[in-house]
Amino acid sequence: MTGKVVTITSGKGGVGKTTATANLGVALAANGLKVVCVDSDIGLRNLDVVMGLENRIVYDLVDVVEGRCRLRQAMIRDKRLPELYLIPAAQTRDKTAVTSDDMVRLCDELRTMCDWILIDSPAGIERGFQNALAPADIILVMINPEVSSVRDADRIIGLIEAAEKGPAKLVINRIKPDMVKHGDMLATEDILELLAIDLIGIIPEDNNVIISTNRGVPVALEEKDLAGQAFRNIARRLQGEEVPFMSLESPDGFFDRLSRFIRPGGA
């Protein structure tokens, strides 16, 4: 087995890297693939919480790197999907506890036993990001459709190019369909023109994501959820399938039209 290493990164914090890592892990594992999610945000770990596995942690990434346990011992099996694993970050250490070489070695070992290795990168461009970038085969750059996020992504893509890694693929998260419709949101075309990398996913703003994140049940498990569908589509695209981007414009229902008629301002 030679697994692929996908690093999920953004530069800016809070755009949804951890949520995306958990959901892509779930979506790939639901397709019958063996997946391990690695939280490389040492000192500020979150992925375990989002995946609902916090209370099962015994060993973490730093324990593996420093030889206190075997790799298998640090791999926590998911509650729902037997082929999904998590390697949590250490909470009591910082980014200097791991080097880029450690990450490359760790991922080389994981490659022999998994189909996909997803690395949740910390925000920023320092050591933690460099560590997450070092072993990557594919890099997903996450952005929100806002200027500051796009600017940071541009910087990140520059660093990825300088390190001669890649390909980098773009994921636009938290798009609000109604704002896009009114032209109040940064247009996807403008973002793509500036960043000049391939788009691999568009995820709509979805309150269920917040609810599911807090509950530790990734939204990709919900069959009908729109954001969950978007994550499942990205997973399929990673596997090499051609999946058309879903239309975010909900068809105008009677009640939509009625409510707009009643409130013409669209408040």
Partner 1 sequence: MDIQIKGIREGLLITLEEGTWPEVQTALLKHLDDQAEFLHSGNRKETPRLALDVGNQELKAAELGDLRDEISERGLTLWAVISISATTEQTAQMLGLATRIHNPRAERLAQATETALPGGMEVAADAVYVQRTLRSGFKLQHPGHVVVVGDVNPGAEIIAGGDVVVWGRLKGMVHAGAQGDENAIVCALDLSPTQLRIADQISIPPQRRGKPHPEMARIQDGQVLAEPWEG
Q: Which residues of the chain form contacts with partner 1 (CB under 8 A)?
A: 125, 151-152, 154-155, 157-159, 161-164, 194, 196
Query: Closer to partner 1 at the Cβ: 54 or 146?
Result: 146
Query: Closer to partner 1 at the Cβ: 191 or 248?
Result: 191
Q: Nearest distance from residue 32's CB to partner 1, in Å?
A: 38
Q: Nearest distance from residue 243's CB to partner 1, in Å?
A: 28
Between β-strands 138-143 and 168-175, what pairing exists: parallel, antiparallel or unpaired? parallel
- CA nearest neighbour of 132 among 266, 11, 257, 254: 11
Give me 178's structure tokens. 């109604």
Query: Closer to partner 1 at the Cβ: 4 or 151?
Result: 151
Q: Which residues are 119's β-sheet partners?
A: 7, 38
The DSSP result for 160-211, as a single string, is HHHTT---EEEEEEEE-HHHHHTT-S--HHHHHHHH-SEEEEEEE--HHHHH
Query: Closer to partner 1 at the Cβ: 113 or 159?
Result: 159
Q: Examine residue 264 and say whether the peptide bond preceding it is cis (omega within 30 degrees of 0).
A: no
Q: Nearest distance from residue 66's CB to partner 1, in Å?
A: 25
Q: Nearest distance from residue 12's CB to partner 1, in Å?
A: 12
